[in-house]
């Protein structure tokens, strides 16, 4: 996906923080059937919303935009995060919205979502982790961080959700190695009388593995694997409902 479009081709715009957000929300737009109506832009970082919004205004086609949605993390203070976005909006000549999830009275309409919805602190990682809270692997993740703390490796409040996401995704990558080993074993078991040569089995297994194993899997790329039987993030979980409602209202 091109993260730097040279023109605006849709009448609704979604401005998000970075790569992970762009990948996750683009997949969610597809799931909701909204990808033909909303064009995603990423700021390139939480401190770059001001620069990116200004650049978007200069793109061909901006005059046809009737709705702009902006999503950013609450981090340690949802109110401060919202005020930050309002300042950016006002700096570029727009009327800021009165509160999150309530559009302004201007044209284009501008609506802001601070995530997690309705919470004073947190980030997109918290939403994703909530969607897998019932996964048995999360017990292992909890124990891992308890072990770190017991060895005086306490992480900051800001870092913990990101670290927990990485630990959870690491468990998925390990499980996918198990898929590879199982496939390799099954290839031989399918024809025990005349087993296939390793020169045939191993390449076939690696081809299968290439569709499953992602050693550099990120939160955003994991979101694009929602068609899997063991989907990474469950968009049907209640934790994502506020985000889906926001996208539908743009």
Domain-wise residue ranges, the chain: 12-123+243-249, 133-232
CA separation for the pair 178, 29 (Å, rounded): 32
CA separation for the pair 21, 26 (Å, rounded): 8
pLDDT of residue 177: 59
Among 44-58, 154-168, 177-191, the minimum mean pLDDT is found in 177-191
pLDDT of residue 152: 86
pTM of the predicted model as reported, rounded to 2 decimal places: 0.81
CA distances in angstroms from 63 to 2, 15, 26, 45, 72, listed in the order given? 21, 17, 23, 25, 24
CA distances in angstroms from 47 to 78, 94, 153, listed in the order given? 15, 19, 29
> Does 61 score more than 70 pLDDT?
yes
Q: Which residues pair with 14 in a beta bridge?
A: 40, 69
**12-123+243-249 domain in CATH 1.10.10?**
no
């Amino acid at each position: 996906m091109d993260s730097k479009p040279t023109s605006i081709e849709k009448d609704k715009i979604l401005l998000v923080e970075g790569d992970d957000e762009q990948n996750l929300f683009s997949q969610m737009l597809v799931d909701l059937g909204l990808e033909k109506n909303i064009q995603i832009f990423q700021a390139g970082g939480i401190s770059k919303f001001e620069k990116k919004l200004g650049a978007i205004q200069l793109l061909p086609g901006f005059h046809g935009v009737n709705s702009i949605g902006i999503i950013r993390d609450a981090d340690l203070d949802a109110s401060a995060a919202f005020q930050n976005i309002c300042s950016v909006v006002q700096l570029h000549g727009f009327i800021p919205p009165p509160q999150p999830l309530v559009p302004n009275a201007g044209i284009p309409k501008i609506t802001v979502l601070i995530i997690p919805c309705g919470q004073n602190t947190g980030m997109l990682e918290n939403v994703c982790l909530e969607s897998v809270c019932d996964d048995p692997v999360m017990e292992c993740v909890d124990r891992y961080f308890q072990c770190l703390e017991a060895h005086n490796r306490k992480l900051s409040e800001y870092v913990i959700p990101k670290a927990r996401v990485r630990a959870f995704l690491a468990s998925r990558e390990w499980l996918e190695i198990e898929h590879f080993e199982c496939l390799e074993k099954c290839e031989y078991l399918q024809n025990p009388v005349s087993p296939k040569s390793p020169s045939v089995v191993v390449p076939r297994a690696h081809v299968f593995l290439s569709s499953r194993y992602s050693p550099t899997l990120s939160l955003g790329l994991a979101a694009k694997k929602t068609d899997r039987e063991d989907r990474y993030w469950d968009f049907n979980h209640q934790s994502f409902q506020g985000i889906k409602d926001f996208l539908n209202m743009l």
